């Protein structure tokens, strides 16, 4: 009996977010392939998501030197450690996920003559992250690697257009769109119980509208826009509102300082106080939060395909978001989401206020259910799509 094709899957780090879930599901459920998962290390401001892989019974191999920040010495060591793993595991496919793993991992795979090399852009760093000179360096690196990559996976048509037309990473025939995939069942199960528990925990009354923003507190997420819009909505709304910043990160103290400057009363989860704004820090079961909330916001300046908005739709929650990245490809504009151009505080506040005031709009989204989201972004579909892609690439290589 011939052995299963071997896949070496490499990810930057196991932090809370879409890439971790996706590599975990692909490693666990692509049963026609023998997969080894390799991960770098998260930084100290991020919440670990090792529980995701452990709950699935996976045992990743870790490379401590592979971290998000650029460091030539650590990156060099990561490269040689990956070459050693490739030499020993002898994969038929190396599939890298996100920027750092994509650069170091693909370079190692190319130099070890791996037959098939695949890379997934879960987002990109080509605007709103670095200055123009540094961005140009990253673009040149990606173009070099793209020529030596068998197939590049993008998550949405919008992301594909950005990478091919705007940033000219590679021709379109080098790319394949594969939607993200998750186990979204927990966002539809026991919703009434979860809602009651969340609202009891944070003293949210039945007539209060809960607004949440989920994600890392880092510059690209632009929590400043959320705070400014929240201030406006709290002054104009006829309804009582409560807001929750779910997540943590390097800008926590800065975001708190801005809330103070805007005279927004806030508390942390440890304070057990009822305030307009609550910082919950990281909460592993986001389905519990979504059940208790009514609106999910996102204010990023750049995104790939944000998991928080997929999860919001699975839970039947209305979305107010900036119009960036692939977001317009995953929501139904003006039906279950309002999209606003980035950095426009007044228009974002206007959209958020409209969502707060319109009970019928929010209830329609809740009543319509999440069947389409579950089908489109389920992990079974993800694994089937990726299995088909791998098989095609191996067949071409073996011809």
DSSP letters spanning 196-255? HHHHHHTT--TTEEEEEEES--SGGG-HHHHHHHHHHHHHH-SSEEEEEEEB--TTHHHH
Inform me whether the pLDDT recorded for 58 exceeds 50.
yes
Closest listed residue to residue 379, CA positions, set 147, 141, 180? 180
Least confident of 40-44, 109-113, 161-165, 206-210: 40-44
The predicted structure's pLDDT at residue 1: 45
Q: For residue 392, what are the CA distances in angstroms to 46, 110, 116, 386? A: 37, 19, 11, 10
Inform me whether the pLDDT recorded for 361 exceeds 80.
yes
Least confident of 47-61, 110-124, 125-139, 243-257: 125-139
> In this structure, what DSSP letter does residue 187 have?
G
What is the secondary structure of 321-385 as a DSSP string? Answer: EE--TTGGGTS-BTTTEEEE-TT-HHHHHHHHHHHHH-HHHHHHHHHH-SHHHHHHTBHHHHHHH
The percentage of the chain sitting over the pLDDT mark of 70, rounded to a whole number, equals 96
Contact 260, 229 (CB under 8 A): no
The predicted structure's pLDDT at residue 171: 96
The predicted structure's pLDDT at residue 229: 99
Enumerate residues 6+ apart whose C-beta is below 8 A from 196. Answer: none
Q: How far is residue 178's CA from residue 82's CA, in Å, rounded to a whole number?
A: 26
Q: How far is residue 82's CA from residue 74's CA, in Å, rounded to a whole number?
A: 12
Q: How far is residue 376's CA from residue 356's CA, in Å, rounded to a whole number?
A: 28
Q: How far is residue 29's CA from residue 111's CA, in Å, rounded to a whole number?
A: 29
When comparing pLDDT for 185 and 48, which is higher?
A: 185
For β-strands 6-11 and 208-214, DSSP reports them as unpaired
Q: How far is residue 218's CA from residue 228's CA, in Å, rounded to a whole number?
A: 17
Inform me whether the pLDDT recorded for 47 exceeds 70.
no
Enumerate domains of the chain plus CATH numbers: 6-181+378-398 (3.40.50.2000), 185-376 (3.40.50.2000)
Inform me whether the pLDDT recorded for 265 exceeds 90.
yes
């Amino acid at each position: 009996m011939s052995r299963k094709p071997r896949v070496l899957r490499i990810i930057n780090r196991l932090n809370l977010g879409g890439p971790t879930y996706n590599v975990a599901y692909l490693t666990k459920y692509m049963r026609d392939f023998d997969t080894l998962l390799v991960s770098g290390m998260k930084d100290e401001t991020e919440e670990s998501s090792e529980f995701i892989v452990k709950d699935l019974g996976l045992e990743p191999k870790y490379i401590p030197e592979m971290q998000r920040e650029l460091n030539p010495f650590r990156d060099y060591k990561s490269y040689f450690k990956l070459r050693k793993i490739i030499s020993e595991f002898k994969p038929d496919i190396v599939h890298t996920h996100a920027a750092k793993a994509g650069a170091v991992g693909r370079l190692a795979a190319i130099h070890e003559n791996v037959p098939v090399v695949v890379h997934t852009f879960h987002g990109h760093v080509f605007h709103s992250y670095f200055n123009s000179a540094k961005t140009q360096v990253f673009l040149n690196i990606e173009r070099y690697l793209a020529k030596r990559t068998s197939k590049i996976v993008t998550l949405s048509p919008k992301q594909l257009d950005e990478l091919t037309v705007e940033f000219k990473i590679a021709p379109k025939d080098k790319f394949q769109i594969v939607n993200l995939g998750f186990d979204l069942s927990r966002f539809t199960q026991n919703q009434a119980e979860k809602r009651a528990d969340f609202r009891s925990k944070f003293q949210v009354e039945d007539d209060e509208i809960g607004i949440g923003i989920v994600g890392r507190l880092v510059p690209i997420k632009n929590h400043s826009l959320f705070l400014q819009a929240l201030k406006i909505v709290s002054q104009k709304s006829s309804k009582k509102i409560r807001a929750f910043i779910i997540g943590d990160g390097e800008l926590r103290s800065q975001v708190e300082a801005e809330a103070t400057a805007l005279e927004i009363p806030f508390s942390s989860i440890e304070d057990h106080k009822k305030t307009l704004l609550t910082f919950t820090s990281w909460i592993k079961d986001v389905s519990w939060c979504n059940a208790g909330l009514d609106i999910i916001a996102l204010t990023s300046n750049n995104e790939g395909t944000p998991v928080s908005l997929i999860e919001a739709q699975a839970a039947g929650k209305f979305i107010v978001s900036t119009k960036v990245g692939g977001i317009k490809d995953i929501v139904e504009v003006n039906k279950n989401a309002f999209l606003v151009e980035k950095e426009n505080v007044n228009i974002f506040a206007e959209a958020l206020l409209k969502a707060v005031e319109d009970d019928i709009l929010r209830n329609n989204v809740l009543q319509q259910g999440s069947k389409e989201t579950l089908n489109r972004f389920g992990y079974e579909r993800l694994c089937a799509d990726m299995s088909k892609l791998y098989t095609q690439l191996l067949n071409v290589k073996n011809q």
